[in-house]
Structure 1
Amino acid sequence: MAAAPTSAFGTSRRSDLIFLVLFAAAVLTAPLWASLIGAGYPDLLQKWAIYGLFAIGFNILFGLTGYLSFGHAAFLGVGSYTAVWSFKLLGMNVLPAVFFAMITAAVFALAIGYISLRRSGIYFSILTLAFAQMSYNLAYSVLTPITNGETGLTVLPSDPRILEQLAGVRDTVSTPTTSLFGLEMTGYPGFYFCAVVLIIGFFVAMKIARSPFGTMLKAIKSNQTRMNYTGFNTRPYTLAAFIISGMYAGLAGALLASTDPLAGAERMQWTASGEVVLMTILGGAGTLLGPVLGAAVIKYFENIFSAFNDQVLMEMFNWLPETLQEAAVAVAGLFVGEGWHLTLGVVFMLIVIFLPGGIMEGIRRVQKLFRRSDGASRTDTASESA
């Protein structure tokens, strides 16, 4: 019997296909299973899909090549601004906005990557952070005619929207909403659009990781110095990875603008860059599924735990005596509501200490545990039968 064809990393194409189908099924059924943990509403699901895509792109650079960028939020902001300008000038269809956002982010990544990749390690990280902060400050000051400064860029009824004007469907009265050939990108339709883009982005990332190009990126991460000594020019590969990663970030920025047609400089802030780093490390850098899981965990903490105010906590602990109830609310309030960052910090610290490979390492350990127990039970059965 012929063996199943394998990819560059020794995994069969059939297993990759099964993995992709399971991932797609989990994403598309998210409104069902996420409602069990109180996260089934569209806004949160949209953020999970968008930031999951952002983290997948960042993982192509950091997880595969080992280059840690602290400035990826610059591409997220550029994608958002480009998408909003596409809505203002062309029309509210999200497809042109997504296309132009990716192209603009690619050009921006080429310029930044060409300079930053002349250095490696912490110097590369500081350079990307500097470029991101420059972009953030420019969006607030010098580029105000393009970005509208601290007010942010929005779509107005008076905008030209040329394609809609040519088609005779331009509305100059009501506030326009984004759409996909007439289907408004709000609520669950907006989530499913983001979900489909996430699945496509996941598939492309899988193909990159399994390709000879992905193998070369992993070799660069393993020992770039040795590759340079052999005369191999690694820079085109790292620059390509940087551009692809920037395009993913620009795409995520376009999706943010598609679900909420607004672009602000805060999306370029260093905190947004740090957030995607946390997502990738928390889920498992260098893995396919890890960044998506990390994005889901952080967005869940941000949107669910932050909603636990004192009133909600009082209702949760109403079964306690009044004195103990107040004490429990005071203690719990440190970790939820405005203190949700503390909970996230504790979780992140525990994972880094006990699971350096992130959530995916924990999943692999559980799988090994079950395999060992299953193997032990088979051995015992064989011994008894003998």
Structure 2
Amino acid sequence: MLAKLLNNKDTMLVIVFSLVVLAAPLLLAPLGAGYPDLMQRFAIFGIFAIGFNILFGLTGYLSFGHAAFLGVGSYSAVWMFKLLSVNIVPAILLSVLISGLFALVIGYVSLKRSGIYFSILTLAFAQMSFNLAYSVLTPITNGETGLQLALDDPRVLDGASTEGVLPSPQLFGLEMNDTAQVPFLGMELQFNVGFYICALILIAAFFISLRIFRSSFGMMLRAVKSNQTRLNYTGINTKPYTLAAFVISGMYAGLAGGLMASMDPLAGAERMQWTASGEVVLMTIMGGAGSLLGPVLGAAIIKYFENIFSRINDNVIEAWFTFLPDWLGDILVTLISPFVGKGWHLSLGLIFMLVVIFLPGGLVEGAQRVSRWTVRSVKRLQHSEPGSSKSLEPGETH
């Protein structure tokens, strides 16, 4: 039974993915990214990108308004913290439910059009949602200040705070900011409760995405992407399939928004801006739209650049080249400094351009090319070794 499971490529993919995600504190510490807040962002935006990929990667429908569902999920979670309990389970469930209903309404209208018209409609809905949250619905969203916890919140299941301190989101007593620090090979590994909750949900989200990709439903979505007009001519109504994909994608975004609020109980309108929608598009395309691992990889790279490259300044760069002569070090600092720190977007933009031009399938395609090249090289070496079948003289046998 175990051998059968290990021979299944999808099973192996899920196992390897799970091990890598769970070992993130160890793998990311040498890269300077092993602290809880960034690891949580890796997992949360990985979920966001996986959901977006179900819509864009499978159906080809490009939404420029998916941040609206991220924001709705965040607001729903914070309201649950304020009214019911700071336990994250009800908050996440409400986030997914409300985002799914919101996506159903927006998708029903937007999917009446396709192509660029669909994209513009989703962008319009997202901008309307942003403006509603920012100014019109201030009793619900608290406007530009953002929605956050207060001491006088009812919290029916938890009761009033008697210590005069705002409670922290928790899962049955485990607070999201609880962190165990473990020394390891000169590094300080940080094992955070919030990250591991996000990591387990990321693994579950990845597994569900895998099942969708492999299902007949996923095959129908690929057919829509390939030639929706031909499907319509055969009498197949594609609207229910595309709407279902849109709703599922919106629920993933709402789940990510709920987790963001669970890690930091604050919801603001800025999460619904078009720039946030554009970011998830970049994540998916950079990693590889339509692939399983691509969106997660793209999300990790962009968040790494945003949080690590943006902190590199001239002093850090100078420390890299202290072993060089001063004049050469100054030249290198001058050349590199525009691409880090405040200029990290420039580096990210160049990488994105190179990926789009040379790797249309994203970084996953690049990894596949390297893998195929490695396999071919190994086979050539094996065949060229003395004693191999190709090196035998005519009439000789092993």
Fold-level similarity (TM above 0.5) = yes
Partner of 2:210: 206
Question: Take 1:314 and 1:156, find their aligned partners in 2: how far apart are those partners?
Answer: 46
Under a length normalisation based on structure 1, what TM-score does the superposition of the two structures give? 0.94
The residue number in structure 2 matching 1:383 is 390
1:40 partner amino acid: G
Q: What is the DSSP-based 3-state SS (H/G/I as helix, E as strand, rest coil) of the residue aligned with 1:299? A: helix
Secondary structure at 1:141 match in 2: helix
- Partner amino acid, structure 2, of 1:180: L
1:177 is matched with 168
Could you tell me how far apart the structure 2 residues matched to 1:174 and 1:276 are?
36
In 2, are the aligned partners of 1:156 and 1:176 still within 8 Å (CA)? no
Q: Distance in 1 between matches of 2:158 and 2:22?
A: 31
* Partners of 1:87 and 1:155 within 8 A in 2: yes
- 1:45 aligned residue (39, 48, 51): 39
Pair 13,209 (structure 1): closer, same or farther in 2 beyond 3 Å: farther
Alignment deviations for residues 49-86 of structure 1 (CA, whole Å, 9 cap, x no partner): 00000000000000000000000000000000000000
Deviations 1:241-298 (A, max 9, x none): 0000000000000000010111000000000000000000000000110000000110
Task: Give secondary structure in 1 for the equivalent of 2:112.
Answer: coil
SS at match of 2:158: helix
Q: Does structure 2 retain, via aligned residues, the 8 Å contact 1:301–1:344?
A: yes
Match of 1:109 among 76, 80, 103: 103
Q: Contact between 1:81 and 1:263, CA under 8 Å: does it hold in 2? A: yes
| SS of structure 1 residue aligned to 2:157 | helix
Structure 1 residue 328, shift from structure 2 partner: 3.0
Give deviations 1:84-129, integer Å, cap 9, x for gaps. Answer: 0000001110000000000000010001000000000000000000
Structure-2 separation of matches of 1:316 and 1:375: 40
- Which of 104, 114, 118 is the aligned partner of 2:112? 118
How far did 1:172 drift?
Answer: 5.4
The one of 241, 259, 271 aligned to 1:255:
259
**Quick one: distance in 2 between partners of 1:172 and 1:356?**
56
Q: In the alignment, is the contact (CA less than 8 A) between 1:161 and 1:170 conserved in 2?
A: no
**Structure-1 residue corresponding to 2:134:** 140
Q: Quickly say closer, same or farther: Cα 1:330–1:193, change in 2 above 3 A.
A: same
> After superposition, where does 1:49-60 map in structure 2 within 5 Å?
49-60=43-54
Return the offset for 1:322: 4.2
- For 2:341, give the aligned amino acid: G
- Count of matched residue pairs: 375
Counterpart CA distance in 2 for 1:151 and 1:35 is: 34
Deviation per CA, 1:171-211, whole angstroms, max 9, x where unpaired?
Answer: 45102100000100114100000000000000000011101
The answer to whether the aligner puts 1:164 opposite 2:158 as a matched pair is yes
| Structure 2 unaligned regions, length at least 5 | 180-191
Structure 2: which amino acid aligns with 1:100?
A: L
State the Cα distance separating 1:371 from its structure 2 match: 2.0
SS in 2 for 1:347: helix
Structure 1 contact 157–171 (Cα < 8 Å) conserved? no
- For 2:9 and 2:328, locate their aligned partners in 1 and report how far apart those are by CA, in whole Å: 53
Aligned counterpart, 2:278? 274
Instruction: Give the corresponding residue for 1:68.
Output: 62
For the residue of structure 2 that corresponds to 1:334, the secondary structure is: helix
CA shift for structure 1 position 33: 0.9
User: Which residue identity does 2:284 align to in structure 1?
Assistant: T
Which residue of the partner structure matches residue 9 of structure 1? none
Give me the whole-angstrom Cα distance separating, in 1, the residues matched to 2:246 and 2:372: 34
Gapped runs of 5+ residues in structure 1? 6-11
Counterpart in the other structure of 1:154: 148
- Residue range with higher mean Cα deviation, 210-219 or 13-22: 13-22
Q: Which moved more, 1:181-190 or 1:371-380?
A: 371-380
Deviations 1:279-318 (A, max 9, x none): 0000000011000000011011111100102222232333
Q: Is the Cα contact below 8 Å between 1:101 and 1:250 reproduced in 2?
A: yes
Identity among equivalent positions (%) equals 63
Amino acid across the alignment from 2:80: S
The equivalences for 1:10-21 within 5 A come to 14-21=8-15
Once the two structures are TM-superposed, the CA of residue 377 in structure 1 deviates from its matched residue by 2.9
State the distance in 2 between where 1:170 and 1:97 align: 19
For 2:244, the equivalent position in structure 1 comes to 240
Mapped partners of 2:78, 2:7: distance in 1: 39
Superposition pairs for residues 325-336 of structure 1, below 5 Å? 325-336=329-340
Preserved contact between residue 57 and residue 246 of structure 1 (Cα < 8 Å)? yes
Task: Compute the displacement of 1:331 (Å).
Answer: 2.5
Aligned residue in 2 for 1:77:
71
The partner residue of 1:298 within 286, 302, 311 is: 302
The match for 1:312 is 316
Q: Could you tell me which residue of structure 1 aligns to residue 184 of structure 2?
A: none
Cα 1:344/1:159, change in 2 over 3 Å:
same
Q: Is the 8 A contact 1:158 1:172 kept in 2?
A: no
* Contact 1:78-1:105 within 8 A present in 2 as well: yes
Instruction: Report the Cα offset of residue 324 of structure 1.
Output: 4.2
2:188 is matched with: none
Q: 1:255 corresponds to which letter in structure 2?
A: L
- The answer to whether residue 268 in structure 2 is matched with residue 264 in structure 1 is yes
Whether the aligned pair in 2 keeps the contact of 1:71 and 1:130 (CA below 8 Å) is yes
Q: Using the TM superposition, give the Cα deviation of residue 383 of structure 1 relative to its aligned residue in structure 2, in angstroms.
A: 1.3
